[in-house]
Amino acid sequence: MICRHCQSPLDLDFLNLGHAPPSNAYLDSAALNAPEKTYPLRVKVCRKCRLVQTEDYAGAKELFSSEYAYFSSTSRGWLDHAKRFATMISERLGLDGESHVIEVASNDGYMLRNFIAAGIPCLGIEPTDSTAEAAESLGIPVLREFFGERVGRRLSEEGKAADLVCGNNVYAHVPDINDFTHGLAAVLKPGGVITLEFPHLLCLVEHNQFDTIYHEHFSYLSLLAVSRIFEAAGLRIFDLEHLPTHGGSLRVYGCHADAPFEASSSVGICLEAERAAGLDTDDYYTAFQSRAEAVKNDLLRFLLKTDADGKSVAAYGAAAKGNTLLNFAGVKPDLLPFVCDAATAKQGKYMPGSHIPILPPEALDKRRPDYILILPWNIAEEVKMQLSHLAAKGSRFVTMVPELKIA
């Protein structure tokens, strides 16, 4: 395999999580009796441009199908995050009724609903029918296609170039990151701004967030790598913010290379922090495997002891990161009988690989497990607040990343 960005040979290993099905390929009861397709889940590092990337096995159309079950609006905290961003960026860029906003991977309209409410023209680009329909029901226009240079050029030629192109947690999801980035450049007005949010590789390694690695995430991004990819597409990053979302993310602000945006000192500071941590060296990546295996072993020890002690355990949040963890550890319903999730699209289905049933949150009230394993640790505090009545009755909360913690 060669690097998706610079085409250099990939021979530096980062992480091997064995074989797993796509993390959002939730199963119905009929599918439990059929063969289940799995793919190797291995990650490598490009020694030249430092793009961290999965090996090529699964295609985007299989991962992001019409039955795609991730709806951004399920999390109240994420809705609030999107609303704050929409207000801030509208003021910063002076967006109004004459502007045009494009969101790539607009999902169920969690973000663009704020621009619609403010009277700012917008367009969502979203290939999955299930989430696109939810956005359209809110009055948001949606183009149901995978975004790339061809789509970006077509929109620009149709007079639909954007003052703002935003993308939250999509940059890691694109198999052809060069084509996607050239698409951003093609659809952006000469004085327009791109904002992308993505989990920061530095945080992933520092906090042992190996469960954020799954087939839908083709890339794991540092500012070092993203700056090189932007530059190759005639773009540059002129500002950034550090965000607490998804365990630590970057929000980068990009523009055309010749646009008159003054570079913020935050960009240079972040690049220097990455170099100081060692992200431009091979040794930084080679020790990560053992840290992931330590969490896997701790989870199995905890579940086996819970079972031996006659205690009950259930999980909350049928998240993709939970599927990575459970499949890496080989956990099945005998050790974890059910998972609860607030997303109705997931309820009544089964976790891919592990085949653990997904129930509505009310099941926790009926069964009152001794332990509740919170799989989406990035919203653990939100979940604890929602389930505080169970804690008052004796249930204890458990998270596994960056290490086993029992509250």
Check: CB of residue 359 under 8 Å from CB of residue 347: yes
Taking only the tens place, the pLDDT of each residue in 183-235 is 999 999 999 999 999 999 999 999 999 999 998 899 999 999 999 999 999 99
Q: List CB contacts of 18: < 8 A, sequence separation 6 or more.
A: 40, 41, 327, 328
Taking only the tens place, the pLDDT of each residue in 318-348 is 999 999 999 999 999 999 999 999 999 899 9
**How far apart are the C-alpha atoms of 311 and 72, rounded to whole Å?**
33
Report pLDDT for 78. 86
72-285 matches 289-406 in fold: yes
**How far apart are the C-alpha atoms of 180 and 185, rounded to whole Å?**
9
Average pLDDT over residues 236-241: 98
The domain segmentation of the chain, as residue ranges, is 72-285, 289-406
Among 92-101, 127-136, 172-181, name the one with the lowest average pLDDT: 127-136
Check: CB of residue 152 under 8 Å from CB of residue 180: no
Q: What is the mean pLDDT of the chain?
A: 94
Average pLDDT over residues 232-256: 96
Q: Is the pLDDT of residue 82 over 80?
A: yes
Taking only the tens place, the pLDDT of each residue in 37-73 is 999 999 999 999 999 999 876 555 555 554 555 666 6
Check: CB of residue 115 under 8 Å from CB of residue 101: yes
Q: Is the pLDDT of residue 74 over 90?
A: no
CATH class of 72-285: alpha beta
**How far apart are the C-alpha atoms of 10 and 13, rounded to whole Å?**
8
Report pLDDT for 70. 61
Strand partners of residue 339: 315, 358
Q: What's the fold here for domain 289-406?
A: Rossmann fold (3.40.50)
| Residue 301 burial (CB count, 10 A) | 11
% of the chain surpassing 90 pLDDT: 89
Q: List CB contacts of 163: < 8 A, sequence separation 6 or more.
A: 93, 95, 99, 100, 101, 189, 191, 192, 193
| Residue 265 burial (CB count, 10 A) | 8
Residue of 53, 57, 66 lying closest to 39 (CA atoms): 57
Average pLDDT over residues 69-96: 88
Binning pLDDT at 50, 70 and 90, where does residue 23 land?
A: confident
- Pair of tokens at residue 118: 């403010």
* SS3 letters across 260-299: CCCCCHHHHHHHHHHHHHCCCCCHHHHCHHHHHHHHHHHH
Burial 102-138 (b: 16+ CB within 10 A, else e): bbbbbbbbbbbbbbbeeebbbbbbbbbebbbebbbeb
Alpha helices in 94-219 (DSSP H): 112-117, 129-136, 149-157, 177-187, 201-206
Report pLDDT for 372. 98
Report pLDDT for 325. 97
Binning pLDDT at 50, 70 and 90, where does residue 130 land?
A: confident
Taking only the tens place, the pLDDT of each residue in 337-388 is 999 999 998 999 999 999 999 999 999 999 999 999 999 999 999 999 999 9
Predicted model pTM: 0.88
- Pair of tokens at residue 237: 């990053």
Average pLDDT over residues 111-119: 97
Among 19-33, 42-56, 64-78, 244-258, name the one with the lowest average pLDDT: 64-78
Among 65-69, 104-108, 251-255, 325-329, name the one with the lowest average pLDDT: 65-69
